[in-house]
């Protein structure tokens, strides 16, 4: 069967122009024609857009920097939009200074241009930089540190690390695309785990608190940070950053995660700020008359998440995560731990998405859209684990003060929320009492996991027995 007709004349013209411009030139140290890189950049751009001008700009992105072609020629052949993108992609060499001596100046200028460029230019830049990073990763695993000798960077690997981490930050608006996730993963593969960047807290205002972290808004209006309390291991932040990027790639609506940050003591993650947002907890506290409606809306959002197939190669089954952690419980006997493990091993398994920390404080509403936040425990598996977390929030805190501080509603309202949620999730005719009793077992598993992490409150041990251990053998 013939392929569907598509007018490719503009892109074909750009490809031919690039082939002619780069003819008889080698991709440095590769032994193949240079134009293969520009075509790979174009292919990467095609994963983000089908806009023919952006595809053309990707094919042409190195013609001004690396050949005799001028910006004026690109403008004459392909128009202002393509020409301006190609120009923004071109390094500016400095007269009288060698390529090596000017390397860091030129790369910083390029990072700054990308940081301040249009969304279109960032897409083309990512195509170029990901193609470069793919080649570096392949060659680094073959040649090791001898690879850096073929480049002009005077500082070798450390200069390239600075450069590519800077590019990752400059391109963070594209977080959530598969291309960006692949780029940052390759940067970390070659250069190691990302560093926590020190931030100026004078530019941030506290905006909310939670069980393990505090959040702050940046005075620029576009960013916010989540800083974990200092007793939370830094791996939690690193995991949240990586998972956030991969979760966005699955089409799940979340704020874009950009980088790891620290105030010098606490560590956390920087995110895109969702303006005019409210958590479901805040929305219910401000509109108590809509408690049932909002709880059912939240339930629908949860069902959508739980029906989304997960990339199982990137995440873990939540039951396996629980089993691994609960084996390290300190407040329970070995027999009790064994019984909890057998309970989890007996559960049905699925491969759909699980939030891992699902409750009314971790889902946002803004301008008619819904967003998930706090994704460090994201995985796949039995959705009852997520419902167990909601049950824990609604029934596991005896203190009215804690409820108001963390979720802005009363203990009695939380019980109403849970019942309305069950009706929204399972249907209006569901057996609330029976479901609550079953879900409580999973709530107990979360409490036991807190014990393994050293964050279990004194009253929780009794609840684990009441809700789970006294009911299973």
**CATH number of the structural domain spanning residue 455:** 3.90.1200.10
Provide the pLDDT for residue 93: 56
* Distance, CA of 256 to CA of 322 (rounded, Å): 27
| Domain match, 261 and 373 both | no
Sequence-ordered list of residues with C-beta below 8 angstroms from that of 335, at least 6 positions apart, any chain: none
Closest by Cα among 91, 170, 90, 82 to 120: 82
Question: For residue range 440-461, what is the model confidence (pLDDT) as tens digits?
Answer: 999 999 988 888 887 777 888 8
* Distance, CA of 330 to CA of 455 (rounded, Å): 11
Provide the pLDDT for residue 49: 94
230 pLDDT more than 70: yes
Query: Residue 358 falls within a domain, yes or no?
Result: yes
Tokens (6 digits) for 339? 């019984």
Integer-rounded Cα Rg, in Å, for the chain is 26
Question: For residue range 380-417, what is the model confidence (pLDDT) as tens digits?
Answer: 999 999 999 999 989 887 677 777 777 788 888 999 99
User: Among residues of the chain, what percentage have pLDDT more than 70?
Assistant: 97
| Domain match, 282 and 206 both | no
130 pLDDT more than 90: yes
| Domain match, 127 and 68 both | yes
Closest by Cα among 219, 157, 154, 453 to 330: 453
Query: Residue 112 falls within a domain, yes or no?
Result: yes
| Domain match, 138 and 201 both | no
Residue 97 binned pLDDT confidence (cut-offs 50, 70, 90) = low
Provide the pLDDT for residue 2: 67
Q: Which domain holds residue 440?
A: 278-471
How remote is the C-alpha of 124 from its chain's centroid?
Answer: 21
Q: Which has the minimum average pLDDT: 203-207, 226-230, 271-275?
A: 271-275
Residue 75 binned pLDDT confidence (cut-offs 50, 70, 90) = very high
Looking at 63-177, list the stretches that DSSP marks H as alpha helix, in order from N- to C-terminal side. 63-66, 71-78, 80-88, 103-115, 119-143, 157-170
Last residue of a domain, one of 163, 191, 219: 191
Mean pLDDT of 120-136: 95
Sequence-ordered list of residues with C-beta below 8 angstroms from that of 453, at least 6 positions apart, any chain: 325
98 pLDDT more than 70: no
95 pLDDT more than 60: no
Total tally of structural domains belonging to the chain:
3
Provide the pLDDT for residue 209: 80
Provide the pLDDT for residue 339: 92
Q: Which has the minimum average pLDDT: 218-222, 241-245, 269-273?
A: 241-245
Phi, psi of 457 (to 5 degrees): -80, 155
Query: Residue 454 falls within a domain, yes or no?
Result: yes
| Domain match, 282 and 328 both | yes
| Domain match, 165 and 60 both | yes
> How would you classify the pairing of strands 257-262 and 197-198?
parallel
| Domain match, 95 and 176 both | yes
Query: Residue 4 falls within a domain, yes or no?
Result: no
100 pLDDT more than 70: no
Provide the pLDDT for residue 443: 93
| Domain match, 310 and 439 both | yes
| Domain match, 55 and 116 both | yes
Is residue 335 helix, strand or coil?
helix
Count of alpha carbons within 13 angstroms of residue 464, beta-carbon side? 22
| Domain match, 30 and 175 both | yes
Is residue 106 helix, strand or coil?
helix
Query: Residue 401 falls within a domain, yes or no?
Result: yes
212 pLDDT more than 90: no
Sign, CA dihedral 274-279-284-290, equals positive
Question: For residue range 257-299, what is the model confidence (pLDDT) as tens digits?
Answer: 888 999 999 999 999 888 888 999 999 999 999 999 999 999 9
Provide the pLDDT for residue 71: 94
Query: Residue 332 falls within a domain, yes or no?
Result: yes
Mean pLDDT of 60-69: 92
94 pLDDT more than 60: no
Query: Residue 87 falls within a domain, yes or no?
Result: yes
Query: Residue 1 falls within a domain, yes or no?
Result: no
Provide the pLDDT for residue 198: 92
pTM: 0.63
Provide the pLDDT for residue 96: 54
Last residue of a domain, one of 234, 249, 272: 272
Q: What is the CATH number of the domain that holds 31?
A: 1.10.3210.10
| Domain match, 49 and 102 both | yes
Angle at which helices 71-78 and 80-88 pack, to 10 degrees?
Answer: 150
Task: For the chain, give the number of residues.
Answer: 473
How remote is the C-alpha of 398 from its chain's centroid?
Answer: 34
> How would you classify the pairing of strands 204-209 and 213-218?
antiparallel
Q: What is the CATH number of the domain that holds 207?
A: 3.30.200.20
Provide the pLDDT for residue 145: 87
| Domain match, 260 and 402 both | no
Q: Which has the minimum average pLDDT: 19-23, 294-298, 357-361, 447-451?
A: 447-451
Last residue of a domain, one of 251, 272, 293: 272
């Amino acid at each position: 069967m013939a392929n569907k007709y598509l007018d490719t004349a503009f892109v074909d013209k750009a490809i031919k122009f690039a082939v002619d411009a780069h003819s008889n030139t080698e991709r440095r140290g590769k032994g193949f024609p240079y134009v293969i890189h520009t075509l790979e950049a174009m292919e990467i751009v095609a994963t983000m857009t089908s806009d023919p001008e952006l595809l053309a700009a990707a094919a042409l992105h190195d013609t001004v920097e690396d050949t005799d072609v001028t910006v004026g020629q690109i403008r004459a052949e392909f128009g202002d939009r393509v020409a301006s993108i190609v120009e923004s992609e071109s390094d500016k060499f400095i007269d009288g200074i060698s390529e090596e001596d000017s390397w860091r100046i030129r790369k910083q200028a390029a990072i700054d241009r990308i940081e301040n460029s249009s969304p279109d230019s960032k897409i083309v830049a990512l195509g170029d930089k990901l193609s470069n990073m793919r080649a570096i990763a392949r060659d680094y695993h073959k040649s090791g540190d001898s690879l850096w000798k073929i480049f002009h960077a005077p500082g070798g690997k450390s200069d390239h690390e600075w450069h590519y981490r800077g590019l990752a930050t400059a391109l963070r608006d594209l977080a959530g695309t598969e291309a960006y996730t692949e780029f940052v993963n390759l940067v970390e593969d070659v250069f190691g785990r990302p560093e926590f960047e020190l931030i100026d807290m004078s530019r941030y205002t506290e905006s909310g608190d939670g069980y393990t972290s505090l959040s702050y808004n940046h005075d620029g209006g576009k960013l916010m940070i989540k800083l974990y309390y200092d007793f939370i291991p830094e791996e939690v932040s690193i995991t949240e950053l990586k998972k956030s990027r991969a979760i966005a790639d699955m089409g799940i609506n979340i704020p874009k995660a950009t980088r790891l940050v620290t105030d010098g003591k606490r560590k956390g993650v920087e995110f895109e700020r969702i303006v005019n947002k409210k958590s479901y907890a805040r929305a219910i506290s401000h509109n108590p008359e809509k408690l049932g409606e909002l709880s059912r809306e939240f339930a629908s959002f949860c069902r959508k998440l739980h029906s989304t197939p997960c990339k199982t190669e990137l995440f873990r089954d939540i039951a396996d995560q629980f089993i691994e952690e609960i084996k390290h419980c300190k407040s329970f006997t070995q027999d009790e731990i064994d019984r909890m493990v057998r309970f989890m091993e007996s559960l049905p398994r699925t491969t759909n998405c699980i939030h891992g920390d699902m409750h009314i404080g971790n889902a946002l509403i803004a301008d008619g859209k819904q967003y998930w936040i706090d994704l460090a425990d994201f995985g796949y598996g039995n959705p009852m684990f997520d419902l167990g977390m909601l049950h824990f929030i609604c029934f596991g805190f005896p203190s009215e003060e804690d409820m108001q501080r963390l979720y802005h509603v009363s203990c009695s309202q939380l019980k109403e929320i849970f019942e309305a949620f069950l009706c929204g999730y399972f249907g209006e005719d569901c057996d609330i009492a029976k479901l609550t009793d079953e879900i409580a077992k999973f709530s107990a598993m979360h409490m036991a996991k807190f014990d393994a992490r050293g964050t279990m409150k004194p009253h929780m041990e009794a609840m684990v027995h009441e809700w789970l251990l006294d009911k299973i053998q």
